[in-house]
Each structure stands twice: as structure tokens, then as C-alpha cells.
Structure 1
Amino acid sequence: MFFPCETILLRTAAPIEIIDVTATVRTAFQESGVVQGQVTLFSPHTTAFVCLNEKEHMLQRDMLDFLHRLVPADSDFRHNRDPVDGRLNAHSHLLGLFMNASETIPVADGQLLLGGWQSIFFIELDGPRDERRLLMQIIGEQ
């Protein structure tokens, strides 16, 4: 059974931000009543992504530091010389080369099969933004 695609709306507050959406996804999933199937999350943005990783405060700070060091925003990128939307965001697009626009989580016995340390994160690379969207599609049997 296919369920309507749901939209999770997010507001971001920092240039690069890691937002835990696990509880939101889990609540929407539980309301579906699916016991076997999968949940797919998709970011329809070119500078914001979704990933599974560990939620631990110091690790998240390490992740932010790593992303800032990996592709410095103040580098001379051709994309920033004449930006289409006025945003100097070439670094955000380049960081996105290492991330996923979607994640699929299996479901069994009415539970999301996340690992013991896994959380679901929305990763903003070009914030702050007043509105970002994370699409969620649930497929399965009730």
C-alpha cells in the first residue's frame, strides 16, 4: 500500500546545520499503521540533504567543523562570480557531492529498523533558510 507523500517543513538558522528529524519521522510513521515496508525520505534541494548518523553532541560539532574545513565558503569558486540567485553558495553545492538526497529505512513488525546509534538528520548547507522541505513516502502493509 502506498501512502500520500508527506512534507516535513523545516526552518534553518545557521549556514551549516544538522537537524535531528528522527522523532518527527517516527511519529508520522507510527500514524501510518504500517507494519512491514519502508520509509523513504527525500530532500528536494541541491544544498540540503538527509543522512543517518549518530546523535552525540561532540560528534555533531566534529561534523560541522569537518564540513567547514572540507570546502571553505570563502574560496574563489566560479559559481560565486555571478550567482543565479544571489547566494554565494558554491561550497554548499560542492559539499553536497558527498551527501545523499534520500535515505530509505526498512520497516518490520511496525518498527523503523534504525541501528541502535542511528538518528535521521536533515543537513542544511546553505542556510539560514525560512523554509526547507523533507519529503517522506511510506510504502508497506498495515
Structure 2
Amino acid sequence: MPDAFTTRVLNIATGSDERVVDITGDCESFLREAAAGRDGLLNVFVPHATAGIAVIETGAGSDDDLLSTLHTLLPADDRWQHRHGSPGHGRDHVLPAFVPPHATLPVVDGRLALGTWQSVCLVDTNVSNHNRQVRLSFLGGVGEA
């Protein structure tokens, strides 16, 4: 019998560039095992003060548009009170107010119930932190699928 609550931590190398990393496949892989055909909720959480989770379209330029918009809203310059790290790093600490560090998503029959063009993405603007963790947690009913 599958557990009502199951969790896994992903380790993701984001490199030294700002990135939007599509983790939908990782979420689906986790749910094949954890959900085992059941309904429930997937919580996606990044335990970092300078990264977030977004549900957006990818591959058609939206991920680049998101980074461009964040540059406009949160410029990497010296206006920030939080000044350690790379130039403009203070903006990275404001990012989670715009792109929250979590998302809770519906799971139906063991699969993510996303819209046609929706993907689950890690958003990382901190060029000084090259490795991120993402915690995936499934909460579902107990019993057989």
C-alpha cells in the first residue's frame, strides 16, 4: 500500500547563468512512484532564499520573457540594501516575493493535472549559487489505486 505522504529531494545544477529550469519531467517521474495512480496534491518547494517555483509555458520564449521581466522589475544594480555577493545580488533575495518558493499542484490518477502548455519550473537568478535543491512532496489518499 503506498504511503499517504512521500517526499524526495532533487539536486539541480543551475550553473552560473540565470535560468528557468523545467522540472515537469522530474515531477512526473516522482509521481509515477509516489502517487501510484492515486489522486492528491504535489507540493514543490525550493529551500533557498534566492530561487522560486513557477508554473509557466516553456520552449516558446516565455521562460526568456520571464527572466527579461524580472530584469526590468528587479535590476541587478547597486540600489539594494542587501549587498553581499555579486553586484545586484540583493534583487535575488526579493525574487521570492514575485516568484514564490513553492507551488501546490493537483494530481489526478497519479498524474499532474496541468493545463496544456503549463510546466513546473525552477527559477534561479542567483548566479553565485550553482546548485539547488527542490523538495517534491506528494500527499494523497491511502489505499489501492
TM-score, with length taken from structure 2: 0.85
- Aligned pair count reads 138
Q: Which runs of 5+ in 1 are unaligned?
A: none
Are 1:34 and 1:140, in contact at CA under 8 Å, matched by a contact in 2? no
Q: Could you tell which deviates more after superposition, 132-141 or 31-40?
A: 31-40
Counterpart residue identity of residue 80, structure 2: F
CA RMSD of aligned residues (A): 1.7
Q: Does residue 94 in structure 1 map to residue 94 in structure 2?
A: yes
Residue type of the partner of 1:135? R
User: Aligned partners of 1:30, 1:14: CA distance in 2, in Å?
Assistant: 32
2:55 paired with 1:52: yes
**What secondary structure does 1:129 align onto?**
coil
Q: Secondary structure at the match of 2:91?
A: helix
TM superposition score normalised by structure 1: 0.87
Contact 1:11/1:129 (<8 A) preserved: no
List 4+ stretches of structure 1 deviating above 6 A.
Answer: none
Secondary structure at the aligned position of 1:4 is classed as: strand
Mapped pair 1:137 → 2:137? yes
**1:67 corresponds to which of 70, 89, 94:** 70
Q: Cα–Cα, structure 1 residues 130 and 92, in superposed 2: closer, same or farther, change >3 Å?
A: closer
Q: Quote the sequence identity (%).
A: 28
Query: Which of the residues 26, 29, 34 maps onto 2:28?
Result: 26
